[in-house]
């Protein structure tokens, strides 16, 4: 029997901030995120020291590509720069492109499940505004097979997810107008949800259905196939911290009401986009391994989509959220537009997706997105999401993907009962 894994709390930085413009480096980012996360979870640096004396605490750092954005590797070791209490604490960096912090969460939960540690501090982060968006877009091309899908291509990822939209149109013979309309509405929902989130990157930005639907204009240029700027998440700086603890820790400290990780799924699809598409021929799903990761998490938790009250998904592009709708089981594959048109996934719908604003609205500092989603599920289940709180949340699910839905990570968080 595996040990239960509790989420004690955490924090994200304000995703509107540009740390380069503030003249601050990753140490500042980590220091703020960790100290805010500790404060939220009621943990002190002295707690780290005393847990570490018994070798009961470890750190798990999620980051995609600091080697490019800030010329730095060996990222697990940098927490020692934040505070001497991290001296001696086991710490390493985990990487799986945009799903980097989900791998970190997975490693962290595993070490608690085995009973090795009582506390696992997960930090996902990325500083991306160190370069312009063209160079940044090129760096991100390394989440695909760079030599074949990224090199010498302007904005490789918008193009890959533009192709995902094209492939869905082809596979399901969906009316193009209807699908592009649904994608525009997905963008508008994420932007409008972000307005309720005081830490969202786009909380002050303007977006409307007319603006999102009108693709190919000066302010909404096409960036990849049929997708325009309004269909994309933006370049973001940020970090998100979550602190996981064992049942032993919860009992020793007399803590109540903290949610647990009820299940997870982790599946890797073929690296190349073309091979992914060839691979889905026998499946109803456009991204069968994404669907499988969701099913794995449902099975492990003993829950179904009916038990899930809130969804945080990886809308790096509107097409990825669109595909996630059926992967979650909210509609049949090919019928995703129904969930958009009926209002099912809207903030006040029965199955709200991305109340935080998601990647498009809240922001996408790639290495932080997985831990940011887990933190948001924690907030939703504990009723501490403030302006973007969904009512009566017992269970929430998150989907975090790396590359062109190559690495697929799903976690389900719910009340401990």
- Whose Cβ is closer to another protein: residue 13's or residue 326's? 13
Q: Which 371-390 positions form the footprint of another protein (CB under 8 A)?
A: none
What is the Cα–Cα distance from 285 to 405, expressed in whole angstroms? 13
* Angle, CA 316 vertex, CA 101 and CA 237 arms, to 5°: 60
Binds another protein by CB under 8 A, chosen from 29, 58, 127, 297: 29
Closest distance to another protein from the beta carbon of 56 (Å): 27
Q: Distance between CA atoms of 40 and 38, rounded to whole angstroms? A: 5
What span, in angstroms and rounded, lies between the C-alpha atoms of 227 and 315? 13
Write down the least CB distance from residue 53 to another protein, Å: 26
Which positions from 144 to 183 touch another protein by CB under 8 A, shown as an x/- string? ----------------------------------------
# residues contacting another protein (CB under 8 A) = 27
| Residue whose pair of structure tokens reads 């997985």 in the numeric block | 370
Note whether 338 binds another protein by CB under 8 A. Answer: no
CB of 306 to another protein, least distance (A): 34
- Looking at the Cβ atoms of 28 and 344, the one nearer to another protein is 28
Q: Tell which residue, 138, 274, 152, 160, has the closest CA to residue 224.
A: 160
Is the Cβ of residue 211 or residue 236 nearer to another protein in the bound state? 211
Does residue 46 belong to the site contacting another protein (CB under 8 A)?
no
Residue 153 burial by CB count (10 A; 0-12/13-18/19+): exposed, middle or buried? middle
Cβ closer to another protein: 33 or 327?
33
* Contact between 87 and another protein per CB under 8 A: no
Q: Does 23 bind another protein (CB under 8 A)?
A: yes
Closer residue to another protein (CB): 29 or 245: 29
- Kindly state whether residue 17 participates in binding another protein, applying the rule CB under 8 A: yes
User: Which tokens hold the place of 157?
Assistant: 């990822």
Binding characters for another protein, 204-243, by CB under 8 A (x = yes)? xxxxx-xx--x--xxxx-----------------------
25 lies in the binding site for another protein (CB under 8 A): yes
CB of residue 126 vs another protein: minimum separation in angstroms?
16
User: By C-beta, is 128 or 401 nearer to another protein?
Assistant: 128
Choose, by CB under 8 A, the member of 3, 14, 247, 338 that binds another protein: 14
Q: Which residue number, 211 or 406, has a Cβ lying nearer to another protein?
A: 211
What the block records as the tokens of 307 is 């038990």
CA distance 258 to 42: 12
Residue 235 token pair: 């370049």
Whole-angstrom distance, CA of residue 201 vs CA of residue 315? 14
Choose which of 53, 55, 81, 133 interacts with another protein (CB under 8 A).
81
Q: Which is nearer to another protein, 131 or 271 (CB)?
A: 131
C-alpha 123/C-alpha 336 separation (Å) is 33
Nearest to 212 by CA among 338, 335, 317, 337: 317
129 in Cβ contact with 21 (< 8 Å): yes
- Name which of 83 and 416 has its Cβ closer to another protein: 83
3-class DSSP assignment, residue 158: helix
192 touches another protein (CB under 8 A): no
Structural tokens at position 68: 């490019």
Q: In Å, what is the CA distance from 395 to each residue of 92, 303, 370, 388?
A: 30, 9, 17, 16
d(CA 238, CA 260): 25
Q: Could you list the residues that contact another protein (CB under 8 A)? A: 14, 17, 21-25, 27-32, 81, 195, 204-208, 210-211, 214, 217-220
């Amino acid at each position: 029997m595996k040990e239960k894994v509790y989420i004690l709390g955490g924090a994200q930085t304000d995703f509107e901030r540009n740390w380069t413009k503030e003249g601050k480096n990753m140490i500042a980012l980590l220091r703020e995120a960790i100290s805010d996360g500790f404060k939220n979870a009621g943990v002190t640096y002295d707690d780290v020291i005393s847990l570490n004396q018994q070798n009961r605490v470890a750190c798990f750092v999620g980051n995609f590509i600091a080697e490019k954005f800030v010329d730095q590797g060996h990222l697990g070791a940098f927490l020692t720069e934040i505070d001497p209490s991290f001296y001696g604490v086991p710490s390493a960096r985990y990487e799986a492109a945009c799903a980097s912090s989900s791998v970190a969460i997975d490693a962290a939960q595993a070490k608690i499940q085995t009973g090795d540690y009582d506390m696992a501090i997960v930090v996902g982060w990325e500083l991306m505004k160190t370069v312009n968006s063209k160079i940044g877009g090129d760096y991100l091309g390394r989440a695909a097979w760079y030599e074949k899908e990224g090199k010498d291509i302007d904005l490789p990822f918008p193009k890959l997810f533009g192709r995902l939209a094209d492939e869905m149109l082809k596979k399901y013979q969906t009316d193009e107008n209807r699908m592009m309309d649904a994608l525009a509405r997905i963008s508008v929902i994420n932007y409008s949800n972000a307005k309720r989130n005081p830490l969202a990157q786009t909380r002050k930005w303007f977006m409307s259905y007319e603006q999102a639907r009108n693709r190919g204009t000066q302010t909404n240029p096409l960036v990849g196939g049929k997708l325009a700027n309004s269909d994309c998440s933006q370049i973001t700086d940020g970090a998100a911290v979550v602190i996981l603890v064992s049942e032993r820790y919860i009992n020793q400290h007399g803590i109540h009401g903290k949610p647990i990780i009820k299940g997870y799924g982790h599946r890797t699809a073929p690296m190349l986009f073309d091979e992914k598409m060839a691979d889905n021929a026998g499946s109803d799903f456009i991204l069968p391994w994404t669907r499988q990761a969701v099913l794995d998490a449902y099975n492990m938790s003993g829950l179904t989509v009916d038990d899930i009250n809130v969804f945080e998904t990886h809308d790096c592009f509107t097409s990825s959220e669109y595909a996630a709708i059926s992967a979650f089981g909210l509609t049949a594959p090919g019928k995703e537009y129904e969930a958009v048109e009926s209002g099912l996934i809207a903030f006040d719908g029965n199955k709200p997706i991305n109340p935080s604003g998601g990647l498009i609205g809240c922001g996408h500092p790639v290495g932080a997105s997985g831990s940011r989603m887990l933190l948001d599920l924690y907030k939703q289940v504990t009723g501490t999401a403030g302006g973007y709180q969904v009512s009566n949340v017992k269970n929430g699910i998150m989907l975090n993907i790396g590359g062109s839905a190559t690495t697929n990570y799903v976690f389900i968080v719910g009340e401990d009962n």
